[in-house]
Amino acid sequence: MNLTDSIQYLKGVGPKSFENYKKLGIFTVEDLLLYFPFRYEDIAGRNVVDLLDGEKATIVAEIVTPANLSYFGARRSRLTFKAKQDNSVFGVSFFNQPYLKDKLEVGSKVGLYGKWDSKKQQLLGLKVLSSVEGEHGVIATDADFQPIYHVMQGVKQSSLVRLIQTAFEGGALELLQENLPQELLRKYRLISRQQAVKAMHFPVDLNEHKQALRREKFEELFIFQLRLQALKDQEKSGREGLLVTYDKEKVVAKESELPFELTSAQKFALQEILADMISKTHMNRLLQGDVGSGKTVVAELSMYAAYTAGFQSALMVPTEILARQHFANLTLLFPELQVSLLVSAIKASERREILEDLATGHTNMVVGTHALIQDGVEFDNLGLVITDEQHRFGVNQRKILREKGQNPDVLMMTATPIPRTLAITAFGDMDVSVIDELPAGRKPITTRWVKHQQIDEVLKWVRTEILKEKAQIYVISPLIEESEALDLKNAQDLYEELSDYFKADARIGLLHGQMKADEKEERMAMFKAGKLDLLVSTTVIEVGVDVQNATIMIIMDADRFGLSQLHQLRGRVGRGQKKSYCILVANPKSESGKQRMQIMVDTTDGFKIAEEDLKMRGSGEVFGIRQSGIPEFTVADLVNDYNILEVAREEAIKIFADSDGNFENYLSSFNFSDSDFD
């Protein structure tokens, strides 16, 4: 037998079942060996109505009658009672275990392991299970393990297990080669690949199962990390980047014109970016920093550096409000340069002019939305592309923009702090700069969670803040994801209610996604200029909007928002020197809603919040797994196996460096199969 043999030659596989196995991804003997159970039969147990006669299983059930103990002979005894699972009541008897009587209390739930007798509707009890928390939930410590595989119609659990056994009996396991360096096995006390694969399918006990899982997770993450290193390497060596020889003095001079001094984190990030630009290798960098940490100015100075080297630069942002805000900033900061704004809402004639200026090189910098990547947008010599809020743009959109130049340097900015776990997986092929410090003088935002019933008190306080402190306030209307119309209606209703309430005490404006671009801009400008005290808005305000004087953020029905979104919204205040507040108005019904509110009250640290978000919603939900390019792991789990991931990463980096980038050789020396790297 060979590992590459098709399983159709194994006993028990006919043409029809072969087709079904293929659908599960099992083509060869090796695929079969590495087709691991996704869980083991655990103490959550089986449903009693599903049990077959004679089958051994674990059932969790409630004891409904007192245990009756009868002796026959000196040492032989029988203990009987009735138990209930959902609506099925069944009998249970234990032979010769009289001491169990004290353990079995009426009304308590127990795990019973035994053999099912379907005629008598009775479980012949073998053990009352003690249990422990295992990797897959609660696992019985001392029951027989029953691996559970993902199967499909036409492939039964039992046939799959039998087939794996057949392969084992044919000596397949012995053919599996070790694919981790011996040194790592020793260092981390990992069991061998053969042992692990055997124990993944047929663990003898809980401990062996744990060891197998640990080893398999390490292997999976290690190989993944090696692959990322290879990608990163390829990205660097394969693609010659542009040599952006910027004028250092000019950049320094510009920096000194800023109304504030850069924080050291900003300085450091800028330096990393500039070093990438001036080097011949292609820049592929992620700039992440918490809300309000000052990423924009770092981006702006990088664009300026590109200009001093004779290149154009483009800044792509997700919303029009944001594009306009950046445009205003850039023109203010670089009055001597030609800066253009390209959004979909501009007139055709104006658009034509902008496009021509871009193509002829008349324009030095351009900022825009998706409009930037449409056909017809040509650059003269695009040297730097910056995208803001990177996860809102798909990989393809970024690629299009990048292809508009001669492989321009690329910087992606994100304000959604990416937990390290994901940063080193999804973005493992990128360099990362982090701004982990807020500008000096910022006061922490105080967050309060109030119930709807308390809204009157909140509004009273808001009124005094407006009248006495000249506070500016955002009020976010409840989010109705399913319906834009309802979303709008909510915002309008809220606007009217608040206008009624405040009357002449507050100047109130309304902002929502369906307004025309110029209306939106006008409303934002009024708020920024202090001509409005209170801005009722839908979540269009969420990203990037920067009004330093705004100090109160009120979020209605806050429990409808995800954690990261709440954090973004809250980040609209606390951007200046004044003390700021965030009020979450919510009567959450679900536990997770309550939990989210509490997390927001407890911390303003974006990284912590992102970690929590990840734990509560899973990486797929938060980042869109497919889009972010994170593979779905078979045994490993990015959130829970963080420690293993880190170690695997360190080792992969070391080994990759030792291999002198000669990855192919390295692979063959450890017998990786090519398919590991598809």
Sites of contact with ligand ATP (CB under 6 A): 260, 262-263, 266, 289, 291-297, 415, 439, 544, 546, 548, 571, 575
288: helix, strand or coil: strand
Tell me how far, at minimum, the Cβ of 507 lies from ligand ATP, in Å. Answer: 23
Tell me how far, at minimum, the Cβ of 336 lies from ligand ATP, in Å. Answer: 20
DSSP H helices in 334-430: 348-360, 395-403, 420-426
Of the pair 43, 265, the CB lying nearest ligand ATP is at 265
Tell me how far, at minimum, the Cβ of 589 lies from ligand ATP, in Å. Answer: 30
Of the pair 570, 596, the CB lying nearest ligand ATP is at 570
Task: Tell me the longest C-alpha to C-alpha distance in the chain.
Answer: 105
Of the pair 315, 536, the CB lying nearest ligand ATP is at 315
Taking the CA atoms of 272, 274, 277 and 278 in sequence, report the sign of the dihedral they define: negative
Q: The tokens of 77 are what?
A: 């005894």
Of the pair 32, 321, the CB lying nearest ligand ATP is at 321
Of the pair 213, 386, the CB lying nearest ligand ATP is at 386
549: helix, strand or coil: coil
Distance CA 148, CA 38 (A): 6
Tell me how far, at minimum, the Cβ of 203 lies from ligand ATP, in Å. Answer: 48
Which residue(s) pair with 414 in the sheet?
288
- The 8-class DSSP code of residue 319 comes to S
Of the pair 114, 574, the CB lying nearest ligand ATP is at 574
Judge whether 292 and 228 are in contact, CB under 8 Å. no
Tell me how far, at minimum, the Cβ of 625 lies from ligand ATP, in Å. Answer: 23
Tell me how far, at minimum, the Cβ of 568 lies from ligand ATP, in Å. Answer: 7
- The 8-class DSSP code of residue 50 comes to G
Distance CA 545, CA 548 (A): 10
Tell me how far, at minimum, the Cβ of 510 lies from ligand ATP, in Å. Answer: 22
Judge whether 263 and 281 are in contact, CB under 8 Å. no
Please enumerate in sequence order all residues whose Cβ is within 8 A of that of 515, keeping only pairs 6 or more positions apart, or say none.
523
Judge whether 134 and 146 are in contact, CB under 8 Å. no
Of the pair 97, 548, the CB lying nearest ligand ATP is at 548
Tell me how far, at minimum, the Cβ of 263 lies from ligand ATP, in Å. Answer: 5
Side by side, which strands form the sheet with 534-537? 446-450, 581-585, 550-556, 472-476, 534-537, 508-511
Q: The tokens of 106 are what?
A: 């009426």
Of the pair 100, 545, the CB lying nearest ligand ATP is at 545
How many CB atoms lie under 10 A from the CB of residue 604?
20
- The 8-class DSSP code of residue 604 comes to -
Tell me how far, at minimum, the Cβ of 519 lies from ligand ATP, in Å. Answer: 22
Q: The tokens of 419 are what?
A: 């937990």
Of the pair 499, 548, the CB lying nearest ligand ATP is at 548
